[in-house]
Structure 1
Amino acid sequence: MDPEIAALAGTAGTTLVTMLTTDTWHSIRDGLVSLWQRARPDRAPAIADEISVTRDDLLGAQAVGDREAEAEVRAEWQGRIRRLLAAHPELVEELRAMLVELTPDDTGVPAVTQHATASGQARVYQAGRDVRISGVEDA
């Protein structure tokens, strides 16, 4: 498997899952459906429906606090996108351009979402990038 295609599919799957729970979800759906329309026109309407169902599933999972569902959906769509790109590598640049257009910082990388739970006297330190902690004392 081409590592570039695998990485791009991973980014696309993550972006899809991230955007499906926002008001801008139509943008990613329309972009992905256009890729399928070019490569597999017979599958494009079903992909549009499946993305809509996936959105409903994610919103339902969020409502009940099911964080595993997000990872499962991400993996499922990463696989679908990877298989599409492997069969149709001519779509790689189009997908890359779409991701750059859809992500606010133009890096092609979606925002990081982190979740943590601490109990008792535990502490959680999270960062999306570099972190420096100073002056932390035990209570």
Structure 2
Amino acid sequence: MDPIVSATGTALVSAMAADSWQQVRTATTALWRRLHPEQADEIAAELGTLHAGILNAREQQDHDIEEALTGVWRLRLQHLHVDEPSGVGELRRLLEEHLAPALPPDEQRGVQSIVMKAEARDHARVYMAGRDQHITGS
């Protein structure tokens, strides 16, 4: 799964439990309206259901339900990404401009940055990528 899709799904579910959930729903629905307008009304309704479900899960301290909801929305976003590969920039924008700011500061750090560190010694090679990587030659 694309890291942006995964981070966006996680942030979406958490942001739907925040006070600004209506703005998050509006921004997410607008994304669908741009990429798949025929699904936008359905998504808006499902986000309302998500809001109720995540609040209930957190009230009951049911981490399994919260993880399941996160998985469902990661898959929805993955399907959106597969159907519209050029939409990854839109997902990143949704994450950075609407979802991450709606999260508490400790959760924002988890979805905004990816830190990769590597150390090579002697004749070792390190290949790192935040996404696709193609290596040719020796």
Contact 1:19 1:28 (C-alpha < 8 Å) held by counterparts: yes
What is aligned with 2:87? 91
Structure 2: distance between partners of 1:111 and 1:56: 25
**2:11 counterpart of 1:15:** yes
Higher helix share: 2
Could you tell me which of 54, 78, 81 is aligned with 1:82? 78
Partner deviation per Cα, 1:17-38 (whole Å, 9 max, x = no partner): 1111111112221222112112
Structure 1: distance between partners of 2:84 and 2:40: 15
What is aligned with 1:27? 23
Please give the residue correspondences for 1:86-125 in structure 2 after superposition, counting only pairs within 5 Å.
86-102=82-98, 103-104=100-101, 110-112=108-110
| Superposed displacement of residue 69, structure 1 | 0.7
Contact 1:13 1:74 (C-alpha < 8 Å) held by counterparts: yes
Structure 2: distance between partners of 1:69 and 1:41: 29
| Superposed displacement of residue 111, structure 1 | 4.5
Structure 1 spans left out of the alignment, 5+ residues: 113-139
What is aligned with 2:130? none
1 or 2 for the larger relative contact order (CA 8 Å, sep ≥6)?
2
What is aligned with 2:45? 49
**2:58 counterpart of 1:62:** yes
What is aligned with 2:35? 39
- In structure 2, the residue corresponding to 1:110 is in which secondary structure? helix
User: Over aligned residues, Cα RMSD in angstroms?
Assistant: 1.7
What is the one-letter code of the residue matched to 2:6?
A: G
- Aligned pair count reads 104
| Superposed displacement of residue 92, structure 1 | 1.2
> Where in structure 1 do 4 or more consecutive aligned residues deviate above 2 Å?
109-112
Structure 1: distance between partners of 2:97 and 2:35: 21
- In structure 1, the residue corresponding to 2:41 is in which secondary structure? helix
Percent identity, please.
Answer: 29
Structure 1: distance between partners of 2:94 and 2:53: 24
Partner deviation per Cα, 1:70-125 (whole Å, 9 max, x = no partner): 10000000000011011111211122122111324xxxx8345xxxxxxxxxxxxx
